[in-house]
Amino acid sequence: MAKFVSAPPQRLFRPTWAEVDLGALYRNLRRFKRLMPAGTKLMFVVKGDAYGHGAVQVSRWAQEKRAADWLGVSSVEEGIALREAGVRMPTLVLGSLYPFETFLAGVQYQLTPTVASLAGAQGLAEVARRVGARVKCHLKLDTGMGRIGMGWPSGLAVARVINPSNGLELDGVYTHLAAADGDKAYTSLQLKRFKGALDDMAAEGIRPKFRHAANSAAALGVPSSRLDLVRPGLALYGLMGRGFEPVMTLKTKLVYIKTVQKGTTLGYNRTYRTKNAARIATLPIGYADGMPRALSNKGEALVRGRRCPIVGIVSMDMVTVDVTGVQQARVGDEATLIGPSGNDRIGFGDWADWADTIPYEVVTRLGHRVPRVYR
């Protein structure tokens, strides 16, 4: 049963919606935790609007269920949205460092900032002076990702600045792995660099509470990366297989059906021409909803458990599918774009393959126009 619909309240006049199965999310979290050593803390990565699943709803739920120890967001804005929705869980801002004024807002909202430079540490110390309170942060080390973070040994100078005399507390030190899902040798090298840095810090008595490096692929596949805390996203949303259940399904309805003759062209630029007489159904979803235009004449939808090819170009708000093979298809029937139907299933991975991209991109692009319904 649908429990509540994403805020702001949406009226479901257009029958296109995404269902978020919180039961599946719960089982994924439980399974993930069981696979980690006892005592490993879990940061649920909810950046990118919880990979399109709705960060506010999913984080509130995680708080209520005590399903995770931490949340991970990408920006102060994302963190503030959670705080304003009543989410009080420890939350690490994984990105958005500059300008350093963002630190002040972050600290006021009790978000934990990432420090990735000496200037950042000094900027945060200034914020601590202004608010007159000890500020916790996590230091980011770049061990081979090449985005943000201190190299080594230059990072040691930053770690030294993050101390109580500057109003700061080094709550965590972390790094991010560039190829944990494929390149074992490079992952080992990154972890070796990270552990070397931690040893150097320990030799000076600098011992952060949380040392962390692992995303989903690393936590599941590289046991030595787990350390004190793991930061999964993809696996929890069921977007990487390995026994984790998909959490989100995307559905719409057949809103129009017509029978056309052989040789009829469909859609913009007439890219599809029927080879025989055909029954064509129109679905009220398009690229403005995040359906990749690359699915034109390539993707499929499930109607009554049968695969129906997308024919013609995906338009902004509509797409056409060939339902000739589903004789019983009627206006008002459900069409599953992502998810199971009958014995078949289409996943975000299929969309990613059809669109020549990765599941992260297609799932985070699912538009705000598509209401999320939580079950």
Ligand X SMILES: Cc1ncc(COP(=O)(O)O)c(C=O)c1O
Which residues are identified as catalytic?
47, 268
CB of 314 vs ligand X, minimal distance in Å: 26
How many CB atoms are located within 10 Å of the residue 366 CB? Answer: 22
Judged by beta carbon, residue 69 or residue 317, the one nearer ligand X is: 69
CA quadruple 156, 36, 144, 106: dihedral positive or negative? negative
CB of 187 vs ligand X, minimal distance in Å: 13
Judged by beta carbon, residue 94 or residue 168, the one nearer ligand X is: 94
How far is residue 284's CA from residue 201's CA, in Å, rounded to a whole number? 57
Residue nearest to ligand X (CB): 233
Q: For residues 265, 271, 276 and 277, what is the CA-based torsion angle, rounded to 10 degrees? A: -40
The H or E element that residue 349 is part of is helix 348-354
How far is residue 96's CA from residue 195's CA, in Å, rounded to a whole number? 25
Q: For residues 210, 216, 221 and 225, what is the CA-based torsion angle, rounded to 10 degrees? A: -20
Q: Classify burial at 150, counting beta carbons within 10 Å of its beta carbon; exposed 0-12, middle 13-18, buried 19 or more.
A: buried
Judged by beta carbon, residue 217 or residue 291, the one nearer ligand X is: 217
Report yes or no: 246 and 339 within 8 Å, Cβ to Cβ.
Answer: yes
Phi-psi domain of 348 (left: phi exceeds 0; alpha: psi -120 through 50; beta: other):
alpha
Tokens linked to 331: 């206006």
Q: Which residues pair with 372 in a beta bridge?
A: 18
**Cα distance between the two ends of the chain:** 6
CB of 79 vs ligand X, minimal distance in Å: 14
For the packed helices 154-161 and 184-203, what is the interaxial angle rounded to 10 degrees? 50
Judged by beta carbon, residue 47 or residue 253, the one nearer ligand X is: 47
Judged by beta carbon, residue 58 or residue 335, the one nearer ligand X is: 58
Tokens linked to 307: 């695969």
Which residues fall within 8 angstroms of residue 9, CB to CB, at 6 or more apart? Answer: none
Judged by beta carbon, residue 129 or residue 242, the one nearer ligand X is: 242
CB of 215 vs ligand X, minimal distance in Å: 3
Judged by beta carbon, residue 54 or residue 233, the one nearer ligand X is: 233
Interface residues with ligand X (CB under 6 A)?
Answer: 45, 94, 176, 215-217, 231-234
CB of 19 vs ligand X, minimal distance in Å: 21
CB of 242 vs ligand X, minimal distance in Å: 12
CB of 2 vs ligand X, minimal distance in Å: 27
Cα 184 → chain centroid: 23
